[in-house]
Amino acid sequence: MDTKNFIIKQISIFSENRPGRLASIAHALGEEKINILAFSIAEANGFGVVRALVDHPEKAYKKLSSLGFNVAFTDVIAVQMQDIPGGLYEIAKVLGDAQINIEYSYAYSGRDAAVLILRVDLVEEAIAKIQQSGAKLLERSVFH
């Protein structure tokens, strides 16, 4: 199967570190009936980056840009994990052994299983290694 099917478009939003910014982003997405499937906030001194997987990334990009937000697309992958002790270890070990660096990651507990969202430096290789290990990658179509 083409690795492209496993590359998911995450939206990243630059946000000042002050009250109400996340609310504005969430409100804008809600207005457009865009569903947020997973998200995280990375914070640095004075600012943050909100990262989200949504069901309609293009629509979200357009809406947030029109409101003046700095928005960018980033390629991530999503791995289904066993929701048991040691589940994360399995995945992290596969990537570590292959010398693939995880730039950042966040997880959510899905309906059927836990899901790990990964931003890695070598996307295609990560997809291959994870598939070889027998772990399940979620296809883009699951999200959007």
Contact positions vs other proteins (CB under 8 A): 10, 12, 14-16, 42, 44, 46-47, 49, 51, 65, 68-72, 74, 103
Smallest distance, Å, CB 52 to other proteins?
Answer: 11
In the numeric block, which tokens belong to residue 8? 């998911």
Closest CB to other proteins among residues 19, 86: 19
Q: Are 101 and 120 in contact (CB under 8 A)?
A: yes
Smallest distance, Å, CB 75 to other proteins?
Answer: 10
Cβ neighbours of residue 84 closer than 8 Å, sequence gap 6 or more: none
Closest CB to other proteins among residues 68, 85: 68
Closest CB to other proteins among residues 74, 133: 74
Smallest distance, Å, CB 126 to other proteins?
Answer: 17
Look at the chain and count its residues.
Answer: 144
Beta pairing, strands 102-109 & 36-44: unpaired
Distance (Å, rounded) from C-alpha 127 to C-alpha 98?
A: 11
Smallest distance, Å, CB 114 to other proteins?
Answer: 24
Q: Which DSSP category does 60 fall into?
A: H
